[in-house]
C-alpha cells in the first residue's frame, strides 16, 4: 500500500479532480484510524481501548487479539533489538539489560487473569466518569518472562529498599479536574515484598506468542493477582526506592478509600477481589419456560483460588453451588456451569457469587468507598422467560 503522508494527502486534495480527491482523502482517513479488531467492543479510539465481549467467552486462555486493551496514551513503537531495560535507584549495581540478558537470568511462565480495576463500571448507579466497561475488561493468559526477583538480585538491592517503581515508555499529559503536571509516563510502584514474589514477572510473551504492541511489546510487567494497572506495559525503567512513591497513577488515579479507625484513607489499588460473571445467557435473552438451560461463566479471585460459586434465580433468597470445569488455583480464572429450569413466565434476574479460599466473597451492595474501581458487587443478568 502506498504511504500517503498528510502533506501528500493535502496536495492531492488541491491538485486532482473530485473523484480522485475523495479516494485520496479516504485513504488518509483509513491510515489515521487504528486497525480494526474484529469482535471487540471499541470503548475509545484514541488512545485505543478495547473490551472483550464477555458473552463470547470460550477459551480458558484468551487469545491475544481478543484480550482487552487498556491504553492511557498512544502506543509507543519500540525496537526489540535496540531495547534496553534500565534498573536504577537504591541498588549497588545499576543495569541496562537487553532482552537476551533478561532471558539469561532465567524465565518462568505464569497463568494469570488480568482485570482492569474499572471493569464493570457501566453497571454503577449513578453513572461515574471513566471508561464505561461492561464485564469484558478482563482476560486470562499464560505469561512468560524473567521473574523480577532475578533482576533485583543481579542489581543487588541495598538495605532499606522499600518499593520498586515500574515505568512505561508511553508518555502524555492528563487533562481534566486533576490534571497531571504536564506530560508524565504511565508508572506504578509495588512494595519490595510483592516485587520478590514468583508471580511478578517481566513478560515478553503471552500464550506462547510474542507480545503485540497493544499489550506492551517488547516487555511488560505482570504483577500476578493484582488489578491490571500495576502490570506496566512497554516497561523501560525499574527504580528501586527507599521511600514510598506517590506517583500520579496511585494517588490521583487508581486509588480508593480503605478505612482504619473508621476513617477513610486514600490507598493505591492492589490485589483483585473475588468475582464470578455469567457469560451466557446474556442480558436481555429470551428463554423458553419449562426447559432446562445451561448457565456458563468464569470466576477469579486474584492472589487466591476460587473456592465455590453460587447461583441464584430469586434475587439472592436461595443459592445453589455451580460445577467447575477445571481445578482451582490462585491467579487464574476457572470456568463453571450450572443448569436452571425456569417454571414461571416473566422477567427473571440471574445472579452468581464467588467465594475464595480465604473466605472473601461478593456483596449485593456497592461499597461507595471504592470510588470508581474494584467493582465486584452482584450485577444481575436480566432475562425474559416466555
Ligand X SMILES: Nc1nc2c(c(=O)[nH]1)N[C@H]1C(S)=C(S)[C@@H](COP(=O)(O)O)O[C@H]1N2
User: Can you give the binding site for ligand X, defined by CB under 6 A?
Assistant: 67-72, 114, 116, 168, 170, 186, 215, 228-229, 231-234
* Residue 253 partner contact from ligand X, Mo ion, none using kind-dependent CB cut-offs of 5 to 8 Å: none
Pick between residue 313 and residue 376 the one whose CB is nearest to ligand X: 376
Q: How far is the CB of 355 from ligand X (least distance, A)?
A: 24
Mark the segment that binds Mo ion (CB under 5 A) among 66-74, 176-184, 332-340, 367-375: 66-74
CB 386 within 8 A of CB 287: yes
Pick between residue 154 and residue 371 the one whose CB is nearest to ligand X: 371
Residue 186, C-alpha cell as written in the block:
504511565
How distant is the alpha carbon of residue 369 from its chain centre? 21
- Binding track over 228-267 against Mo ion, x by CB under 5 A: xx--------------------------------------
Q: Does 50 bind Mo ion (CB under 5 A)?
A: no
* Residue 154 partner contact from Mo ion, ligand X, none using kind-dependent CB cut-offs of 5 to 8 Å: none
Beta-carbon-side half-sphere exposure of residue 178 (alpha carbons within 13 Å): 7
Among positions 163-182, residues that touch Mo ion (CB under 5 A) are: none
Q: How far is the CB of 252 from ligand X (least distance, A)?
A: 14
CB 302 within 8 A of CB 226: yes
Q: What angle do CA 272, 273, 277 make, to 5 degrees?
A: 105
Q: Does 70 bind Mo ion (CB under 5 A)?
A: yes
- Binding track over 78-117 against Mo ion, x by CB under 5 A: --------------------------------------x-
CB 361 within 8 A of CB 378: no
Q: How far is the CB of 202 from Mo ion (least distance, A)?
A: 19
How distant is the alpha carbon of residue 69 from its chain centre? 7
Whole-number Å distance between alpha carbons of 259 and 242 = 26
Pick between residue 71 and residue 362 the one whose CB is nearest to ligand X: 71
Pick between residue 246 and residue 318 the one whose CB is nearest to ligand X: 246
Handedness of CA 123, 127, 133, 137 (dihedral sign): negative
C-alpha distances in Å from residue 126, one per residue of 71, 114, 121, 368 = 25, 26, 10, 11
- Select from 72, 69, 32, 65 the least CA-distant residue to 49: 69
Q: Does 269 bind Mo ion (CB under 5 A)?
A: no
Pick between residue 62 and residue 304 the one whose CB is nearest to ligand X: 62
Handedness of CA 35, 37, 43, 47 (dihedral sign): negative
Q: How far is the CB of 119 from Mo ion (least distance, A)?
A: 8
Q: Which residues bind Mo ion (CB under 5 A)?
A: 70, 116, 228-229
Amino acid at each position: 500500500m502506498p504511504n500517503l503522508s498528510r502533506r501528500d494527502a493535502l496536495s492531492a486534495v488541491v491538485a486532482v479532480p473530485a473523484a480522485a480527491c475523495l479516494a485520496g482523502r479516504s485513504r488518509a482517513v483509513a491510515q489515521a484510524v487504528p486497525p480494526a479488531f474484529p469482535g471487540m467492543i471499541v470503548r475509545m479510539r484514541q488512545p485505543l481501548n478495547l473490551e472483550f465481549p464477555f458473552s463470547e467467552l470460550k477459551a480458558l486462555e484468551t487469545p491475544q487479539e481478543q484480550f482487552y486493551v487498556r491504553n492511557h496514551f498512544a502506543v509507543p513503537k519500540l525496537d526489540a533489538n535496540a531495547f534496553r531495560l534500565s534498573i536504577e535507584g537504591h541498588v549497588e549495581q545499576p543495569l541496562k539489560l537487553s532482552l537476551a540478558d533478561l532471558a539469561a537470568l532465567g524465565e518462568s511462565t505464569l497463568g494469570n487473569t488480568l482485570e482492569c480495576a474499572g471493569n464493570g463500571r457501566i453497571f454503577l448507579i449513578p453513572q461515574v466518569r471513566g471508561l464505561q466497561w461492561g464485564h469484558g475488561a478482563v482476560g486470562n493468559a499464560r505469561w512468560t518472562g524473567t521473574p523480577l526477583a532475578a533482576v533485583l538480585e543481579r542489581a543487588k538491592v541495598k538495605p532499606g529498599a522499600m518499593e520498586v517503581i515500574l515505568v512505561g515508555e508511553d508518555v502524555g499529559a492528563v487533562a481534566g479536574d486533576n490534571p497531571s503536571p504536564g506530560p508524565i509516563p504511565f508508572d506504578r510502584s509495588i512494595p519490595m515484598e510483592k516485587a520478590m514474589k514468583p508471580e511478578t514477572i517481566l513478560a515478553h510473551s503471552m500464550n506462547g506468542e510474542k507480545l503485540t504492541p497493544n499489550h506492551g511489546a517488547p516487555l511488560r510487567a505482570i504483577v500476578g493477582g493484582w488489578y491490571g494497572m500495576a502490570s506496566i506495559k512497554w516497561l523501560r525503567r525499574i527504580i528501586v526506592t527507599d521511600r514510598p512513591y506517590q506517583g500520579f497513577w496511585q494517588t490521583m488515579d487508581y486509588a480508593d478509600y480503605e478505612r482504619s479507625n473508621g476513617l477513610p484513607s486514600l490507598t493505591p489499588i492492589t490485589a483483585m477481589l473475588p468475582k464470578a460473571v455469567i457469560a451466557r445467557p446474556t442480558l436481555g435473552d429470551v428463554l423458553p419456560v419449562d426447559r432446562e438451560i445451561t448457565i456458563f461463566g468464569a470466576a477469579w479471585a486474584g492472589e487466591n483460588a476460587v473456592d465455590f460459586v453460587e447461583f441464584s434465580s430469586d434475587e439472592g433468597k436461595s443459592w445453589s453451588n455451580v460445577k467447575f470445569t477445571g481445578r482451582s488455583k490462585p491467579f487464574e480464572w476457572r470456568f463453571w456451569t450450572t443448569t436452571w429450569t425456569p417454571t414461571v413466565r416473566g422477567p427473571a434476574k440471574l445472579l452468581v457469587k464467588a467465594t475464595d479460599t480465604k473466605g472473601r466473597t461478593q456483596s449485593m451492595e456497592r461499597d461507595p468507598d471504592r470510588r470508581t474501581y474494584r467493582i465486584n458487587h452482584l450485577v444481575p443478568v436480566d432475562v425474559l422467560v416466555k
